Amino acid sequence: MNKYLLMMLLAITSMCLHSPAVNAESAKDNYRTYCMQCHGMTGLGMGVNIQDMSVQPRDHTDAKAMGTRTDVELFKVIKEGGLAISKSSLMPPWADTLTDQEIHDLVKHLRTLCNCEYSTK
Amino acid sequence: MNSSMAMKLFNILLFCTPIYVGLTLSISAHAGGIGLLKKYDCASCHALTGPAPATLAALWQRKGPDLFYAGNKYRQAWLETWLQQPKRIRPAGMFYMNHIKPGPKRNMVDTSTLTEHIQLNKKDAKAIAATLASMKTHTALIQAEKHDASISPGPLGEMLFDKIYGCMACHQIEPGFGGMSGTEVYTAGKRLTPEFMLSYIRNPQAWDPKIWMPNAHLPDNNKQKLVNYIIKLSKESNDE
């Protein structure tokens, strides 16, 4: 059997054997896939879904509102949904979609979107 | 490397390359339908063997819904009708980010990016529907569900779907009313088996690991109510 053919077979095989494994996705890509449908293409809360929503999604660029939340609260609301921090159930829980690490990365991503940190002011 | 190892590798490849679609299908399905799936090149947009996308990159590129579990998901009569007269099911296309644009009040669907589906004649639709109906994977997930049509949703059905669980944020419950990033549900009762709906609501990730529908962890009784509410919607609307 040809050496190169074997190498190719090996490469493809290892690719397809590993494909179901959970790859950590980047926060940017996760935000694009899971959050923009409601929070909008630029995070302003103007997603394609909002027309008939009774509570509007948070504007993630709003430094004042986002600054009232600790990183722990942001982690909690992403993982467990709005109800977990006494907000609307229209903000869904993502525990079964994202790993804890991916959620931590999303919290950091939110901090760059609002250009803010938690502040008591 | 010896030849028996090469043979093993070859066997593994056999199970993970779509090239062997025909081979795996022909065991159970009508030869005519398989020929037609090939003739129309349905596999250029639809996965006829699994698995579902395991990365976001693959998810974003998916051109049509996965059909490798079509026999467990769709009602055969609906398949036959729809293939002859396809109508849009996902208001924002397969991956909504590929079909939206900024708007004054919110992001809008850019309908110019959505295309019409291939339409089949009656004979071909019938043959293909029969073949699709024989494609059953994830059967254990379906067998784990038991639909109870007697649990009436009553007025609570809409409350659960709209307010309590926020399903309407992504799904339209009548034309033009509701969210855009998921499928319209007012036709889902005619399209889908109740067991599929129960199973998908129980665990969307079991069917499609990267999909943007979250698992809301609903109590069983409320899942039945939601499914019966969806079935009721289909009976109310005269939209096929």
Q: Is the Cβ pair A93, B215 closer than 8 Å?
A: yes
Chain A residues in contact with B164 by the CB 8 A cut-off are 89
B42 CB-near residues (< 8 Å, 6+ apart):
B48, B67, B128
How large a percentage of chain B has pLDDT more than 90?
84
Name beta bridge partners: B142. none
Q: Is the Cβ pair B9, A50 closer than 8 Å?
A: no
Q: Is the Cβ pair B55, A25 closer than 8 Å?
A: yes
Flag residues of chain A having pLDDT under 70: 1-23, 121
Quick: pLDDT tens for B75-116. 999 999 999 999 999 999 999 999 999 999 999 999 999 999
How large a percentage of chain B has pLDDT more than 70?
85
pLDDT for residue B225? 97
Cβ proximity of B225 and B155 under 8 Å: no
Chain A residues in contact with B90 by the CB 8 A cut-off are none
Q: Is B19 on the interface with A (CB under 8 A)?
A: no
Q: Is A48 on the interface with B (CB under 8 A)?
A: yes
Q: Is the Cβ pair A37, B56 closer than 8 Å?
A: no
Rounded to a whole number of angstroms, the distance from the CA of A114 to the nearest CA of chain B is 19
Quick: pLDDT tens for B10-21. 555 545 544 444
Q: How far apart, in whole angstroms, are the C-alpha atoms of residue A39 and residue B107?
A: 10
CB count in 10 Å sphere of residue B61 = 12
Quick: pLDDT tens for B204-218. 999 999 999 999 999
Q: Is A24 on the interface with B (CB under 8 A)?
A: no
Q: What is the mean pLDDT of residues B123-141?
A: 97
Chain B residues in contact with A23 by the CB 8 A cut-off are 54-55
pLDDT-derived band at B29 (thresholds 50, 70, 90) equals very low
Quick: pLDDT tens for B187-201. 999 999 999 999 999
Chain A residues in contact with B174 by the CB 8 A cut-off are none
Of A7-11, B147-151, B159-163, B232-236, minimum mean pLDDT range? A7-11
Quick: pLDDT tens for B50-77. 999 999 999 999 999 999 999 999 999 9
3-state secondary structure A12-67: HHHHHHHCCCCCCCCHHHHHHHHHHHHHCCCCCCCCCCHHHCCCCCCCCCCHHHHC
Q: β-strand B172-174 against B108-109: which pairing, if any?
A: unpaired
pLDDT for residue A16? 45
pLDDT over 90 at B8, yes or no: no
Averaged pLDDT score across all residues of chain B: 90
Which domains are present in chain B?
40-89+118-236 (1.10.760)
> Which DSSP category does A95 fall into?
T
pLDDT for residue A120? 81
Of A9, A33, A42, the CB nearest to B13: A9
Largest CA distance in chain B: 68
Q: How far apart, in whole angstroms, are the C-alpha atoms of residue B132 and residue B28?
A: 10
Across the A:B interface, residue pairs with CB atoms under 8 Å apart total: 117
ipTM for the complex shown: 0.85
Closest residue in A to B212 (Cα–Cα): A34
| Secondary structure (DSSP) of chain B | --HHHHHHHHHHHHHH-GGGHHHHHHTTS-HHHHHHHHHTTGGGTS-SS-PPP-SHHHHHH--S---TTHHHHB-HHHHHHHHHS-----TT-SSGGGGEE--SSS-EE-GGG--PPP---HHHHHHHHHHHHT----HHHHHT----TTS--TTHHHHIIIIIS-GGGTSEEETTEE-SSS--STTHHHHB-HHHHHHHHH-HHHH-TT-SPPP----HHHHHHHHHHHHHHHHH----
Which domains are present in chain A?
20-114 (1.10.760.10)
pLDDT for residue A12? 47
pLDDT for residue B236? 84
User: Residue A20 half-sphere exposure, CB side, CA atoms within 13 Å?
Assistant: 10
Q: Is the Cβ pair A46, B106 closer than 8 Å?
A: yes
A-contacting residues in B 113-132 (Cβ below 8 Å) = none
pLDDT for residue B12? 53
Rounded to a whole number of angstroms, the distance from the CA of B212 to the nearest CA of chain A is 5
Q: Is A93 on the interface with B (CB under 8 A)?
A: yes
* B204 cis-preceded (ω within 30 degrees of 0): no
